[in-house]
Structure 1
Amino acid sequence: MNILIDRIPTPSQLKTLIGDRAVHIWGARHDGYAAHHVLNRHGIDIQAFIDSSRALQGQRVFGKDIQLPDPFFANATPQTAFILIASGFHADAIADDCRRHGFQVGRDVLIQGDLRLFNYQIDIAGSCNLRCISCPRGNFDTHRPKGFMSADVYRALLDKILSDDPYTGIITLYNWGEPLLNRELPEILAITHAHGLLSALSSNLSFKLDFESVIAARPTWFRISVSGWEERYEITHTGGNWARLMENVRRLAEYRDRHHPEMLVEVFYHIYNDNRDDIRRWQALCDELGFMLRYRHAALAPLDNIEAILEGRAVNERVQRTMALQQLQVEEVMRLALAERHRPCYYERHLWINWNLEIAHCMEWYRPDLNLVPESFMDTTPEQLIAAREASEFCARCKERGIHRCFIVYSDERLIAERDSLPLAAGAD
């Protein structure tokens, strides 16, 4: 991890480094949104985004184009362009690509993680309405305490985050919980924006709750998690209701148009072995409603289950059902993950803060007793958090076995194209 707080440049130092070069952000998802917002907050405009995902081509984010890497490098030089890498999974590979094209890291390129200490993921809802078999909410028998973060606690939390980590640009308001179950979410969103931060939500949208007040509070980015169409959706989004989902998807578009046309909406599609062709219907719906479509091979979460399989321990029938439906099997995922175990861990630069202010050791492990520090976030300094991460024997074991790269393999769009896992993935770059 090796974070040196005193080496983070001040905004004026960053402006001096950039000079009069055109700024490009590499990564057009919510890390990129955060980078864009932070730069704007400090008076630095950007020219465009760069992203290798074919799914994003032709889209615009905050009025800026999204370019593929090859056209960018064909026209840019270190004298004319400056790059801020805001891609958590692939920052190391992107930095190598920049070097091959003559861009020097530290002079012509910065990695977002060299500006901020952590990416903050706050589970404002310690509960979920679904019991998906691929998620610990459905396949784990023990959980952290149920509850919801209040707006007053959240306000104090943000005050501390910005005091500790002033380059923070976005707050992710979910992890294993369903944030729209928190009745104070509209106020929480208002507090987020009053602090000069962007907000990210992810929802299953498979409930009767009316959420117009949430959209009226203007979240920046809204993800809908889906898998399959009609009856196939209800298998893997276990406990979900297809008709209710469709009603709410269209309501979301209506509420967006009424209250917040600039809101970025992403449908996040989980690929199983029985829903390959269903993505055509989702693409048509996204085109109709003006949503973006992203996808990944359906993962088996949490990493606790991956570890159990690696060690030959028994797993429950919900985990077994998930594995039987997966397009990309755990054994192949771990073979690929192990081959890149030398690469960085995306998750060690994240903090998952639970609704009760506990700090989970990792956002992708689930064991309820596994915390990074025994104290609450409010009682812990950045130096203590960094020291705890760097000294973690648990992290060292995870990285030694390549488990830290597991979910990155599931999300690899190039692998999806190579395996022809989706009809839309042909030609992915």
Structure 2
Amino acid sequence: MTSAAIPTPSQLQALIGDRTVHIWGARHDGYAAHNVLARHGIGTEGFVDSSLSMQGERVFGKPVMLPADFFAGATLRTAFIVIASGFHADEIAAQCLRHGFRADRDFVVQSELRLFNYQVDISGSCNLRCISCPRGNFDEHRPKGFMSAAVYRELIEKILRDDPYTGIITLYNWGEPLLNRDLPEIVTITNEYGLLSAISSNLSFRLDFEPVVAARPTWFRISVSGWEGSYEVTHTGGNWTRLMENVYRLAEYRDRHHPGMMVEVFYHIYGHNRDDILRWQALCNELGFVLRYRHAALAPLDNIESVIDGRPINERVRSTMGLQALQVEDVMHRAYAERQRPCYYERHLWINWDLAVAHCMEWYRPDLNLVEGSFLDVTADELIAARDGSQFCARCKARGIHRCFVVYSDEKLIAERNSIPFAEKVV
């Protein structure tokens, strides 16, 4: 793929014609698709999503419907689909084809319009040392530091020059973004350029984050794993009391400054915290948050590779594996079986706070970069060529490692394994 192969917004509008547009995927990528289409004068009718947890929700004031309900009323003459699901785009495309919708005529895949999905780690530090995360289980790290608002503005301007279908900037990866004192200004800049912003936080600290919410981020995730004492086992270094205080503050700040902000509690399912999810569901119902969940993953992929290769692992990795509800061997068996399927991360760019471009957002080795030097000095086509020619990516995909975190996130597998109690009620 090259940047010249992507249709212009006017060409996309001509393809859609007078049909109503439906976005398949009601999370990150769906938000981005909605925003990009609106920026180019293309309206949307609603969202399609198979996740039960999204049913009954509204995104940007528009309904979320199940695929069966959508296909019951949609026709080729009346509906056009933009597939905006990272992990399952190929499955969704196949489902569209089975219902007579034609690729590049009746539906397009968002990831084929944009060059990359941009993950900007504005914070090179975290206050926790979670044993399932490289911040807690890796001994070598990239330099610590924070991206300034001035540098962030330069970065955004370059992204939009290179990639006009960009709709959302994810302001985190391995760092805690709320530690960056420039975050309110960074969110403001993102809004100024017509982009959505996504934040994920552990909220387990003493910080005044009201200015962040007042800056109006689009989407705010709280990462949790358990309730009371079980929470602190895997959110290592976290403080339950501070977390709860901040959860209620977040709801208060949202209501005061930005009622439209989407708040998601992202629950990591371990063997010891299975039943606690019901208490989180009750709290989400009380505060108007959305609950999402996945089997707790062993991160980063460097650790997955060490396990399957039989290389030594440290005590923190062993502790994580001992608590997991879904074991690495089972995950990799399933991941290897679907190794021919696409890599969700292949069209992501992880840009570190110092503008280094990491090779992959799910591998962690500090010396593993996609290109040398600063993101600001590399062209879009050079980044594409580096990704397409990567032997590291080729080896990862040949072994099925690239599908590992997709398996951890598979909600159908969670239901099949009865990994949460009364799964039908967690919607």
TM-score, shorter chain, exceeding 0.5? yes
Paired letter, 1:368: P
Residue 316 of structure 1: CA displacement? Answer: 0.3
SS in 1 for 2:223: strand
Which of these residues, 208, 211, 214, is aligned with residue 209 of structure 2?
Answer: 211
The root-mean-square deviation of aligned C-alpha atoms, in Å, is 1.0
SS in 2 for 1:277: helix
Residue 427 of structure 1: CA displacement? Answer: 8.8
Residue 115 of structure 1: CA displacement? Answer: 1.0
Q: Structure 1 residues 428 and 394 mapped into 2: Cα distance closer, same or farther (>3 Å)? A: farther
Paired letter, 1:112: Q
Matched with 1:175 is: 173
- The question of 1:116 aligning with 2:100 is answered no
Paired letter, 1:302: P
Residue 426 of structure 1: CA displacement? Answer: 3.7
Distance 1:138 1:378 in 2: 30
Q: How many residues align?
A: 427
Does structure 2 retain, via aligned residues, the 8 Å contact 1:414–1:428? no
SS in 1 for 2:23: strand
Which of these residues, 220, 226, 229, is aligned with residue 228 of structure 1?
Answer: 226
SS in 1 for 2:103: coil
Map residues 188-267 of structure 1 onto 2, 5 A cutoff.
188-267=186-265
Distance 1:368 1:400 in 2: 23
Task: Write out per-residue CA displacement over residues 343-393 of structure 1, whole angstroms, 9 at most, x where no aligned residue.
Answer: 000001000000000000000000000000012101100110011011111
SS in 1 for 2:274: coil
Matched with 1:35 is: 33
- The question of 1:364 aligning with 2:362 is answered yes
Paired letter, 1:240: G
Matched with 2:423 is: 425
Task: Write out per-residue CA displacement over residues 151-184 of structure 1, whole angstroms, 9 at most, x where no aligned residue.
Answer: 0000000000000001100000000000000000
Distance 2:243 2:16 in 1: 46
Does structure 1 retain, via aligned residues, the 8 Å contact 2:2–2:381? no
Distance 1:106 1:45 in 2: 18
Task: Write out per-residue CA displacement over residues 119-168 of structure 1, whole angstroms, 9 at most, x where no aligned residue.
Answer: 00000000000000000000000000000000000000000000000110
SS in 1 for 2:326: coil
Does structure 1 retain, via aligned residues, the 8 Å contact 2:357–2:371? yes
Paired letter, 1:343: R
Distance 1:29 1:423 in 2: 24
Paired letter, 1:152: A
Residue 424 of structure 1: CA displacement? Answer: 4.3
Map residues 304-343 of structure 1 onto 2, 5 A cutoff.
304-343=302-341
Distance 1:270 1:40 in 2: 33
Pick which of 324-333 and 7-16 moved more.
7-16
Matched with 2:392 is: 394
Residue 7 of structure 1: CA displacement? Answer: 2.1
Q: Structure 1 residues 199 and 89 mapped into 2: Cα distance closer, same or farther (>3 Å)? A: same
Distance 1:161 1:76 in 2: 35
Matched with 1:56 is: 54
Using structure 2 for the length normalisation, give the TM-score. Answer: 0.99
Which of these residues, 281, 294, 299, is aligned with residue 283 of structure 1?
Answer: 281
Distance 1:58 1:109 in 2: 24
Distance 1:380 1:64 in 2: 38
Task: Write out per-residue CA displacement over residues 73-120 of structure 1, whole angstroms, 9 at most, x where no aligned residue.
Answer: 111111110000000100011000000000001100000012100000
Distance 1:7 1:350 in 2: 18
Which of these residues, 63, 73, 76, is aligned with residue 75 of structure 1?
Answer: 73
Distance 1:79 1:126 in 2: 49
Q: Which runs of 4+ in 1 moved over 4 A?
A: none
Matched with 2:130 is: 132
Distance 1:5 1:125 in 2: 30
Which residues of structure 2 form unaligned runs of 5+?
Answer: none
Which residues of structure 1 form unaligned runs of 5+?
Answer: none
Task: Write out per-residue CA displacement over residues 172-231 of structure 1, whole angstroms, 9 at most, x where no aligned residue.
Answer: 000000000000000001111111100000000000011000000000000000000000
Distance 1:391 1:40 in 2: 34
Does structure 2 retain, via aligned residues, the 8 Å contact 1:413–1:428? no
Q: Structure 1 residues 428 and 292 mapped into 2: Cα distance closer, same or farther (>3 Å)? A: closer
Does structure 1 retain, via aligned residues, the 8 Å contact 2:168–2:197? yes
Distance 2:112 2:303 in 1: 32
Identity, % of aligned pairs? 75
Distance 1:163 1:425 in 2: 45
Residue 18 of structure 1: CA displacement? Answer: 0.3
Distance 1:63 1:423 in 2: 31
Matched with 2:374 is: 376
Does structure 2 retain, via aligned residues, the 8 Å contact 1:190–1:217? yes
Distance 1:195 1:74 in 2: 38
SS in 1 for 2:47: strand
SS in 2 for 1:341: coil
Distance 1:95 1:375 in 2: 37
Task: Write out per-residue CA displacement over residues 276-309 of structure 1, whole angstroms, 9 at most, x where no aligned residue.
Answer: 1100000000000000000000000000000000
Distance 1:395 1:243 in 2: 42
Which of these residues, 47, 68, 85, is aligned with residue 87 of structure 1?
Answer: 85
Which of these residues, 156, 160, 163, is aligned with residue 162 of structure 1?
Answer: 160
Residue 428 of structure 1: CA displacement? Answer: 9.1
